Amino acid sequence: MPRDRSLLRGPLWVRDTLATVIESKALTGDGLVLADVWAVAVRHAPATLSETARERMRAAREIVERAAHGTQEHTYGVNTGFGRFVSRSIPEELAEELQLRLLRSHACGVGEPYPAEIVRAAMLLRANALAKGYSGAHVSTVELLVDCLNRGVLPRVPSRGSVGASGDLAPLAHLALP
């Protein structure tokens, strides 16, 4: 709470704006609860990426970089194809393009877009999952996702269409398209 309680008097939008600044949610990859998701998705509370999450993500990214550049070891989806193409090696110079092509191939949704609150919740949940440091994502990728979320820059995510057994690959691909 601000020390000067007079800041909390006045128009509701001023009070609500100050409250969301005060209630920033630091993503760690753990401990995100429904109230946090609601605060960010609906009330537009800001999110940040914790330093602990950054450290875990950097360590995981180093492993991915070693697999993608300079080793002959096959790492699924990093320097190999996907699915039935798992035995196909991807040349080092095409490793980044592989990831972009994967996103494009999965972004096959159609129909009306999800409401902004749903997209905001999905962005927060994706950022928090990546903050665990298990995927090897760039820290800058999650920082950009959080920055877009905080600035209200939201992708159009169609509500119909999916890929994969979990049914979330198409919407997640639309979240991540450049």
For 31-49, write each residue's pLDDT tens digit: 899 999 999 999 999 999 9
pLDDT of residue 117: 97
Question: What element of type H or E holds 111?
Answer: strand 110-113
Query: Considering only 4-13, 95-104, 148-157, which range has the smallest mean pLDDT?
Result: 4-13
Residue with tokens 């009306």: 112
User: What SS3 state is found at 18?
Assistant: helix
Query: Is 134 known to be catalytic?
Result: no
- Which of 22, 63, 76, 140 does the annotation list as catalytic? 76
Q: CA angle at residue 15 from 118 to 125, to 5 degrees?
A: 25
pLDDT of residue 170: 87
Q: What is the mean pLDDT of residues 147-155?
A: 96
| CA separation, residue 41 to residues 3, 89, 94, 146, 147 (Å) | 27, 40, 36, 12, 14
Q: CA angle at residue 108 from 107 to 110, to 5 degrees?
A: 120
Q: Is 22 exposed, middle or buried (0-12, 13-18, 19+ CB in 10 A)?
A: exposed
pLDDT averaged over every residue in the chain: 84
Q: What is the mean pLDDT of residues 24-29?
A: 88
Residue closest to 71 by CA, chosen among 92, 100, 87, 98: 92
Enter the DSSP assignment of 74. -
Share of the chain above pLDDT 70, in %: 83
pLDDT of residue 80: 85
